[in-house]
């Protein structure tokens, strides 16, 4: 295959998938490999360029992630980022040391526009730095092409050998001209033509899934959310009748959602998914009774989910593969994406039981960000109103009810959320806000209704804007919309006497409450 490929070599940094994503944005195909991958294997792929990512180590310490010096003599352009830049310098005879001043955050950098890396980049530009070590002396044969007040080698190049090193992170949005710098590398220096598109992703993945599955049977966990719907339709395209989609109504869905999902994906809908709906509401409520700790709730919901699947799988005979709509942010935040800490164990990633009745898990969206999943959805011909649906977490309302989950609390939060969504849509704000929902706090407080004292729950409204769901800002909703929603919830939903709006960004908050 003569497809143009850029290889990203992973040294365990936080932003590795972002690097891959920025390369894809340049319409160039890329794949990520561990730094432990043999050089021969990388050579055999015949990449047009290689990018070395950041990482948590100090390259001069024993046992630190490293690479062979030969990597830099293949005649293939190599770009080192942060740790990758330090490693390039270190391996080729430069000096890397602990910096006197640790740089973290947005820093002004002076770039030399005569470098092909910085074509059309402003001479003074803001970049995102995050490093303890720095390149004290660049390896022989290199020329310094960017610096900051505290970093004498913010970028360097050895044009004859096609080697480029950047201490900052062009892949992070805070680096104002980062995308341009990566574009300059992959399209300019590596000479990639930029003919890769998302439809190629769909075609390649459909073909790869078909080959992997062979004659096997596939079971898909369909929740009706964007991710699992896209995964299910992709699988259906790949293996048709061999796919069975099981939709578990765990009683923690939004108001009327079970019926809506069935209407679209069930036998009356437009897809061939062998759709099975399991009404397991009471089973989940029983398991959750008396449980208040968020991680425990997530675990219970996740495990029960898998149990239900196992039971369905047994009913339909041997099943070889289980499909999940895991996307990249789920992977990272569940601590499976390298060195990052576990924030929440997203149930569709972490909660696999010890005993699994499936040969293998297929996660076709594992490397994609949410907006990329939507693009794939459109490529697959899924209607826009489904593709642009806001995300809904696997554990559903279970993590939007703080504390113990009961059927009564589910009813309250469903009704409040339905009103909130209805008013947001009426105000024409639904496509402008990335995620919004009502949650039920565990707080009860005193109010007055008519002439009576009340002692009831507080509903919290949340609305956030975000690009990748890894960071988010609270949306500034118009006051009249908030007033209307508040008044309707208090008048129409029993046992609620207070409505509050959550102004917290992520970080320090998370989007969901648990």
Instruction: List residues with catalytic annotation.
Output: 82, 169, 171
- Its sign, for the CA torsion 234, 240, 243, 247, is positive
- What lies within 8 Å, CB to CB, of 383 at 6+ separation is none
List the structure tokens of 105.
Answer: 């955050």
Q: Phi first, then psi: give them for residue 470, nearest 5 degrees.
A: -95, -25
- Taking the complex as a whole, the smallest distance from the CB of residue 462 to ligand XMP amounts, in Å, to 10
- Cβ proximity to ligand XMP, 77 vs 391, nearer residue: 391
Q: Tell me the H-state helices in 10-113.
A: 16-25, 39-44, 83-91
- Distance, CA of 381 to chain centre: 22
How many Cβ atoms sit within 10 Å of the Cβ of residue 344? 20
User: CA 162 to CA 50: how far, in whole Å?
Assistant: 10
Q: Closer to ligand XMP by CB, 91 or 472: give it.
A: 472
445 forms bridges with which residues in the sheet? 456
Residue 102 C-beta: closest distance to ligand XMP, Å: 27
Q: Residues in the chain, how many? A: 514
Residue 47 or 391 with smaller CB distance to ligand XMP: 391
CB 223, min distance to ligand XMP, A? 8
Interface residues with ligand XMP (CB under 6 A) are 298, 330, 333, 344, 346-348, 391, 393-395, 435, 469, 506, 510-512
Q: In whole angstroms, what is the distance from residue 245 CA to residue 223 CA?
A: 9
**CA-based angle 493:498:501, to the nearest 5?**
105
**Strand, coil or helix: what is 354?**
coil
CA distances in angstroms from 38 to 41, 57, 246, 268, 324, listed in the order given: 5, 20, 40, 51, 30
Residue 237 dihedral angles phi and psi, to the nearest 5°? -65, -35
CA 66 to chain centre: 27
Q: How far apart are CA 83 and CA 270, in angstroms?
A: 49
Before 508, cis peptide (omega within 30)?
yes
Bridge partners (DSSP) of residue 278 are 248
Task: Output the smallest distance, CB 333 to ligand XMP, in A.
Answer: 6
297 Cβ partners below 8 Å, 6+ apart? 288, 291, 395, 398, 399, 405, 514
Task: Provide the strand spans (E) within 148-233.
Answer: 155-158, 163-166, 218-221
| Closer residue to ligand XMP in complex, CB, 362/511 | 511
Q: Which is nearer to ligand XMP, 333 or 363 (CB)?
A: 333
Q: How far is the CB of 253 from ligand XMP (least distance, A)?
A: 13
Q: Give least dist CB 464 to ligand XMP, A.
A: 8
Only one residue has tokens 């970028």, namely 155
The strand pair at 360-362 and 321-323 is best described as parallel
* Distance in Å, CB of 206 to ligand XMP, minimum: 23
Closer CB to ligand XMP, residue 117 or residue 226?
226
CB of 348 to ligand XMP, least distance (A): 5
Least distance in angstroms from the C-beta of 111 to ligand XMP: 35
- Output 22 or 346, the one with its CB closest to ligand XMP: 346
Nearer to ligand XMP by C-beta: 364 or 391?
391
Whether 190 contacts 48, CB under 8 Å? yes
Is the distance from CB of 504 to CB of 461 less than 8 angstroms? Answer: no
- The answer to whether 73 and 161 have CB atoms below 8 angstroms apart is yes
Task: Please say which residue, 93 or 507, places its beta carbon nearer to ligand XMP.
Answer: 507
């Amino acid at each position: 295959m003569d497809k143009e490929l850029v290889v990203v070599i992973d040294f365990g940094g936080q932003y590795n998938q972002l690097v891959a994503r920025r390369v894809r944005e340049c319409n160039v195909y890329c794949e990520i490999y561990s730094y432990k991958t043999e050089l021969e294997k990388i050579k055999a792929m015949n990449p047009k360029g290689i990018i070395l990512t950041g990482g948590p180590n100090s390259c001069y310490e024993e046992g630190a992630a490293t690479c062979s010096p030969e990597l830099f003599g293949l005649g293939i352009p190599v770009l080192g980022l942060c740790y990758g830049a330090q490693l390039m310098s270190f391996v080729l005879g430069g000096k890397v040391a602990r910096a006197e001043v640790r740089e973290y955050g947005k820093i002004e950098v002076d770039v030399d526009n005569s470098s092909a890396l910085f074509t059309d980049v402003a001479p003074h530009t803001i970049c995102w730095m995050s490093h303890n070590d720095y390149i004290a002396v660049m390896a022989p044969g290199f020329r310094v092409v960017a610096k900051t007040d505290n970093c004498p080698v913010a970028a360097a190049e050895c044009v004859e050998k096609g080697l480029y090193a950047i201490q900052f992170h062009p892949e992070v949005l805070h680096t104002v001209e980062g995308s341009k710098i990566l574009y300059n590398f992959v399209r300019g220096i590596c000479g990639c033509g930029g003919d890769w598109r998302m439809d190629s992703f769909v075609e390649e993945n459909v073909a790869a899934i078909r080959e992997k599955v062979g004659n096997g049977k596939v079971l898909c966990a369909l929740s009706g959310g964007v991710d699992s719907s896209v995964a299910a339709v992709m699988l259906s395209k790949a293996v048709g009748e061999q796919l069975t989609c099981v939709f578990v109504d765990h009683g923690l869905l939004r108001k009327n959602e079970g019926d809506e999902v069935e209407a679209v994906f069930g036998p009356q809908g437009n897809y061939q998914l062998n759709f099975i709906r399991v009404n397991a509401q009471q089973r989940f409520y029983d398991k959750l009774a008396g449980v208040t700790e968020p991680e425990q709730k997530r675990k219970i919901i996740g495990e029960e989910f898998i149990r239900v699947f196992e039971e369905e799988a047994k009913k339909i005979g041997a099943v070889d593969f289980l499909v999940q709509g895991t996307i990249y942010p789920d992977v990272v935040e569940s601590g499976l994406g390298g060195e990052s800490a576990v924030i929440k164990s997203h149930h569709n990633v972490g909660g696999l039981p010890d005993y699994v009745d499936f040969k293998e898990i297929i996660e076709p969206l594992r490397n994609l960000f949410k907006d990329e999943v939507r693009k794939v959805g459109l490529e697959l011909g899924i209607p826009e109103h489904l593709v642009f649906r806001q995300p809904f977490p696997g554990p559903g309302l279970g993590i939007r009810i703080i504390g113990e989950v009961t059927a009564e609390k589910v009813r309250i939060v469903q009704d409040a959320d339905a009103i909130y969504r209805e008013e947001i849509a009426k105000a024409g704000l639904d496509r402008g806000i990335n995620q919004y929902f009502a949650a039920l706090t565990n707080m009860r407080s005193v109010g007055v209704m008519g002439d009576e004292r009340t002692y009831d729950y507080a509903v919290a409204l949340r609305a956030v804007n975000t690009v990748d769901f890894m960071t988010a800002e609270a949306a500034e909703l118009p006051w009249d919309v908030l007033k209307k929603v508040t008044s309707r919830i208090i008048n129409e939903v029993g046992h609620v006497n207070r409505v509050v709006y959550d102004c917290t960004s992520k970080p320090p908050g998370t989007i969901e409450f648990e």
